[in-house]
């Protein structure tokens, strides 16, 4: 492991991974196998996106990642209700993975 861990770069790589899952195509399979692949893609996106939204610190050899899981309406600095989009971001995850862009 390197002497100095770049926590911000690590978090940025998780954001890139979430974006890659979002853009990834689905192999030409059907039925149960397709459902398993799509389920795994949803989990991959969720995990990578969550870590990509983290704030991190490295102190005394201990890496701490903080992920705010509260609804955006509760978070500090959240836009007022009238400025928020109509859709729920949690619903977008399924749509992103279920209907990836054509390549």
Q: From 59, 34, 57, 44, select the one nearest 14 (Cα to Cα).
A: 44
Could you tell me the pLDDT band of residue 75, with boundaries at 50, 70 and 90? confident
**What number is the average pLDDT over the span 64-69?**
92
Q: Are the C-beta atoms of 95 and 87 separated by less than 8 Å? A: no
Tell me the backbone φ, ψ of residue 47, rounded to 5 degrees: -65, -50
Domains of the chain by residue range: 7-98
Q: Could you tell me the pTM of the whole model? A: 0.63
| Number of alpha carbons in the 13 Å side-chain half-sphere of residue 75 | 11
State the average pLDDT for the chain: 79
Q: How many CB atoms lie within 10 A of CB 67?
A: 12
Of 79, 42, 50, 81, the residue nearest 67 (C-alpha): 50
């Amino acid at each position: 492991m390197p002497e100095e861990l770049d926590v911000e770069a690590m978090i940025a790589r998780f954001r890139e991974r979430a974006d890659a899952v979002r853009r990834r195509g689905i192999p030409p399979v059907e039925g149960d196998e397709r459902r398993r692949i799509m389920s795994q893609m949803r989990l991959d996106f969720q995990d990578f996106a969550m870590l990509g939204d983290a704030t991190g610190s490295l102190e005394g050899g201990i890496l701490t990642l903080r992920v705010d899981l509260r609804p955006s309406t509760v978070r500090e600095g959240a836009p007022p209700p009238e400025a928020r989009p109509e859709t729920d971001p949690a619903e977008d995850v399924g749509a992103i993975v279920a209907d990836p862009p054509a390549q």
